[in-house]
């Protein structure tokens, strides 16, 4: 358990000690990445009532903006991740406000992200079968079961996710290599997953209990909080890779 906390603390300190560099390599890209959130805020989707619930409906004229903003959000997020990994692991500094575009590394990172995402979803689906059976018999524990599945997804992601920093610095790390590198560290990874998931829930609480969820203040808070969560999440993967693959200290 202590090891998981040390990894998270190291990741958090990595951001706090390098805030200027984090802003330089991510701020402009993050604003681009968040453009869809901003667009939806000022152009809320239409809703229709279906079986007593309000369901969002995408109008035909909104399809193109949705696809466009979704595409640039993906490119922006992967570009940020590659740049931050390379800074933390290789000391590659961004002088201006836009990191170098490394197309081949970004493409490789994206491909590995899709692969890992698919495997995590598959793992959670398999795990959800017995958990759903338990939830049916004990409906009062449905919320807890949901949290367990979220935690399991984070666990699988961190076990396999160290492939991503490797891709960012041009190193080849297979799925088997990633799993083996964290073998025997399940308690550490599980603790880390619980910290990250729990922290994400806590920082989202103010916006959930806000009386004006569509206010500008809520939008700004969401953007700021998501920026910190994004960089810290990337930092956690960086720390895991640096510690378990490159054997760097975290104390």
What is the pLDDT at residue 166?
96
3-state secondary structure 49-85: EECCEEEEECCHHHHHHHHHHHHHHHHHHHHHHHHHH
Span 174-205, pLDDT tens digits: 999 999 999 888 889 989 988 988 888 888 77
- Tell me what pLDDT residue 70 has: 84
Which DSSP string corresponds to 201-232? HHHHHHHHT-S-TTSHHHHHHHHHHHHHHHHH
pLDDT of residue 174: 92
pLDDT at position 107: 95
Beta-carbon contacts of 240 under 8 Å, excluding residues fewer than 6 positions away, are 7, 158, 161, 162, 165, 182, 192
The residues spanned by each domain of the chain are: 2-244
Low-confidence ranges of the chain (pLDDT < 50): none
Residue with tokens 């049916």: 136
Residue 57 has a pLDDT of 60
Q: Measured between alpha carbons, how far is residue 19 from residues 12, 24, 33, 76, 88 in Å?
A: 11, 9, 19, 19, 12
What pLDDT sits at residue 177?
93
Which pLDDT value is given to residue 20?
94
Q: What are phi and psi of 49, to 5 degrees?
A: -85, 130
């Amino acid at each position: 358990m202590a090891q998981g906390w040390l990894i998270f603390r190291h990741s958090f300190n990595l951001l706090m000690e390098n805030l200027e560099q984090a802003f330089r390599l991510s701020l402009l890209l993050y604003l681009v990445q968040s453009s869809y959130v901003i667009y939806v805020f000022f152009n809320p989707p239409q809703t229709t009532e279906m079986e007593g619930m309000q369901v969002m409906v995408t109008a035909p004229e909104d399809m193109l903006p949705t696809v466009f903003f979704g595409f640039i959000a993906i490119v922006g997020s992967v570009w940020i991740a590659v740049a931050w990994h390379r800074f933390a692991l290789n000391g590659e500094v961004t002088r201006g406000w836009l990191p170098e575009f490394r197309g081949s590394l970004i493409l490789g990172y994206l491909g590995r992200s899709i692969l890992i995402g698919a495997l995590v979803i598959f793992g959670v689906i398999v795990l959800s079968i017995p958990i759903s059976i338990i939830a049916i018999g004990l409906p009062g524990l449905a919320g807890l079961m949901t949290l367990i599945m979220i935690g399991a997804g984070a666990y699988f992601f961190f076990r396999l996710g160290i492939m991503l920093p490797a891709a960012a610095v041009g190193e080849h790390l297979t799925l088997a290599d990633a799993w083996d590198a964290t073998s025997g560290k399940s308690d550490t990874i599980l603790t880390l997953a619980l910290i990250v998931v729990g922290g994400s829930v806590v920082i989202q609480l103010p916006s959930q209990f806000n009386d004006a969820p569509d206010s500008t203040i809520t939008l700004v808070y969401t953007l700021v909080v998501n920026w910190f969560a994004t960089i810290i999440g990337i930092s956690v993967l960086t720390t895991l890779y640096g510690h378990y693959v490159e054997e760097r200290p975290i104390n």
